[in-house]
Amino acid sequence: MAQICKEHSLGWTKGIRQSKVVWRNNGPFGTPSPTLYCRDTIYTAYAELCGPDDIIDTLQEYVNDCIKVGLAAATLTTIFASPGAATPAFEAAFKGCLSAKIGDRINEIGVHLTVKDTTGDWGKC
């Protein structure tokens, strides 16, 4: 029985659009000319579950159902605001749900919430 970690996407939200000005010497007579560039940011909330593969992989359907229970308890808004503060509520609801299926082995599961951001490519606005 191997120990594994799997990341489960909980949801996403669009962040503030980023912008920057690039100055190039391509204006009339070689004078500096500004060009405005923009890109979008997406924030995604994740639950990372670590534990024995016979629970994380084999019971994937139950794990997914219990992730939804945990998400209902923690809410995406709270997770985006503070993943660390949202973890206890998520973990309690998730483990309470899953313990009905695996009993005392629930203590072998670790839960960690994170928020990651991804950005698009810079392009003219």
Task: Answer whether residue 28 shows pLDDT above 80.
Answer: no
Tell me, what's the pLDDT at 43? 96
The residues spanned by each domain of the chain are: 3-124
Task: Answer whether residue 97 shows pLDDT above 90.
Answer: yes
Tell me, what's the pLDDT at 60? 87
Q: How far apart are CA 79 and CA 2, in angstroms?
A: 29
pLDDT digit string, tens, across residues 50-60: 999 988 888 88
Answer yes or no: are the C-beta atoms of 45 and 10 closer than 8 Å: yes
In order, the DSSP letters of 57-90 are TTTHHHHHHHHHHHHHHH-HHHHHH-HHHHHHHH
Answer yes or no: are the C-beta atoms of 67 and 48 closer than 8 Å: no
